[in-house]
Amino acid sequence: MRKADIAEFFRRLATDNPEPRGELDYLNPYTLLVAVVLSAQATDVGVNKATEALFKLADTPEKMLALGEARLKDCIRTIGLYNTKARNIIRLSEILVKEHQGSVPDRRAALEALPGVGRKTASIVLNDAFGYPAIAVDTHIFRLANRTGLARGKTGKTPEAVADRLEAIVPASYKPHAHHWLILHGRHVCKARKPDCPNCVVSELCAYGAKTTV
């Protein structure tokens, strides 16, 4: 996609949704971190249902440790891979208390050193909690970036490659909200099975060769 088209792509997304927001519910940087860890291979809707009660009991790493792994598992039992996720959340809570005075660090390296936290999770926390212009690539953004031509071919073979490409090409003025625009567009419009091309604000700029008509 040409540089001018990329700028227009994001201008249209911004006009359509000036104040985009992620769909995970959270109270503070710590609960955001927990919610994103839980969201791996799970839906935001499912995570929100589980964390509504969980965050009333534990909204800090200290409270999570007091809750304990067994009770945490009971709270998140409806979420896939809950045993592993519970173990990681307890371990990362211990690290936050011991090494970060109970606060979530605003540095990528420190975040990615936490159990269960990779590049995508770190990017979401940096963007949503601290306002850094980080772009997290999930399955929706990976699909959209390749399908539309924002990041495809050799540069679009892995989520990491797509993230690198998007970091390089998204205009600086749009980077703070780029992650949310892309994930919401991929989730609700540029869907996997049947993209809603007739109602897509960037359809004219999209390189997808099998656009839907109805």
Residues annotated as catalytic (active site), given as ranges: 120, 138
Please report which helix (H) or strand (E) contains residue 209, including its range: none
The token pair that represents 152 in the structure block = 């495809």
* Residue 47 DSSP symbol: H
- Residue 211 makes CB contacts below 8 A (sequence gap 6+) with 195, 197, 203
Residues belonging to the chain: 214
Residue pair 161/151 in contact (Cβ under 8 Å)? The answer is yes
Measured distance CA(189)–CA(132) in Å, rounded: 26
Q: Which two tokens stand for residue 173?
A: 């003025």
SS3 label, residue 19: coil
Query: Is 35 exposed, middle or buried (CB count within 10 Å of its CB: 0-12, 13-18, 19+)?
Result: buried
